[in-house]
Amino acid sequence: MPGVDLVELGLERLDLATPSQAPDEPTIETPVARMHDTIRIRDVDPLSVDLPLAIKSLVEQTSAPVPRSAQSVLRRLSKWAKAPQQSTVSETLNRVSALLLAEGFDASLQPPADGRVEWADGQFTLAVGLAFRPLLVDLVARWTMADAPTSIFHHLADHVTRNQAHVAVAYAAGCLAATAPQIRSLAMRYFAPTSECLAELAVSGDSLHLLVVAYRLLRRMPEAASHGAWDWASPLTELMGREHPSLVRLLACECLCLARALADQARSQLVGSLQLDPQLVASTRAWLVHGMQTFDSRAVGLTVQTNRINVERRLWLAEPDAPHPWVTESQLSACVACVGGVLLHAHSPGAVGGLVMTPTVARNIHGMALATSRSEPVLLLGAAGSGKTALVEWLAQRTGNDLVAVHVSSNMDAKVLLGNY
């Protein structure tokens, strides 16, 4: 996304105008931290989001059409926002989580007449994600809960089939991952126990609609192609057969190219083997590529604009004396931990000690958490005994992750690090 700072999109609590650190304190090098001299971001606390104001802002400011399944949910949220209660915050967050899925759920019920899901679709999903951006990781994590069929999906309809839920999640993840890569691991957590991929559903369902949803998911989240239980090749190869319409065959081929990570030359050869109308191939390819670029451009612009407005309205800022109910850590999903003001996907989050939360320690933990949420590399620099290892151990314990320590010396080479087979 050229021309837009990643920090400007994130707006998590990272004060880039910090004083210089003492020589014996560890410093952090990440793609985010390297922007220290370019922009200053004010504090944003995910546990201090003004939920009633965020709901009112969503209702009043969004210009995107409201999906049919979301209308009753929005009415309930608006009613709660007028008389909010702390005891019902968790149920309110469940409803907001359901809103993220409404657009994809409606599309699974009534696909467009021509079968296509236009790249312009997804604007309502983006609007919901932007209004509650500091809590977005928790909202997506709620899809993965064991009771999600009753706590989340039942807000959309009395009965939601497993396949409809899969399509709705894939649709929402494909939209949100454009500007919120931190949700990708949680989206894959939802799909982890599933054995049927979207391509298999496309064989027995609305092929065009599901193939476009699958294409967008594979473009946004390449890791979906390596899902251990998903077989992309067999159903996509079946859909490429001559008995299917030309557009279905071409979209299945494009999805297979993404699933196999084929280079341009290999892709051209595979598409050519279908012997389709060259004009259809060119126009469809242009539609896919141009549509994605247009969606990204709109999503980035809307994200930057909405983030600035929400910060100016103090929608996401900590207000100790504010009367509105706040989200507490106990109300977060079981697989989410708040680390240094950043929500992270955690396996078994829990309170840990061992560190004194000085301003420097808190700042470094936040920088590590911010980079970790986006799967970015982190380099800790500091003198011996300055606390580099302690920070990493604390973060691993806080998120319930196993820590693998590799002691590097001048005698190590690639074979030692990667293995010798």
Whether the predicted pLDDT of 172 surpasses 90: yes
pLDDT at res. 118 = 57
- What is the tens place of the pLDDT at every residue in 17-30? 333 444 455 555 44
Q: Band the pLDDT of 76: cuts 50, 70, 90.
A: very high
Whether the predicted pLDDT of 124 surpasses 60: yes
- What is the tens place of the pLDDT at every residue in 354-380? 778 888 888 888 888 888 888 888 888
- What is the tens place of the pLDDT at every residue in 314-325? 776 655 555 555
Q: Band the pLDDT of 140: cuts 50, 70, 90.
A: very high
Whether the predicted pLDDT of 418 surpasses 90: no
Give percent of the chain above pLDDT 70.
82
Whether the predicted pLDDT of 266 surpasses 50: yes
Q: Band the pLDDT of 41: cuts 50, 70, 90.
A: very low
Q: Write down the pTM of the prediction.
A: 0.83
Whether the predicted pLDDT of 93 surpasses 90: yes
Whether the predicted pLDDT of 115 surpasses 60: no
pLDDT at res. 253 = 93
Give percent of the chain above pLDDT 90.
17
- What is the tens place of the pLDDT at every residue in 275-307? 999 998 998 888 888 888 888 888 888 888 887
- What is the tens place of the pLDDT at every residue in 209-239? 888 888 988 988 888 888 777 888 888 999 9
Query: In the predicted model, what is the mean pLDDT of the chain?
Result: 79
Distances (CA, A) of 175 to 42, 268, 295: 27, 27, 9
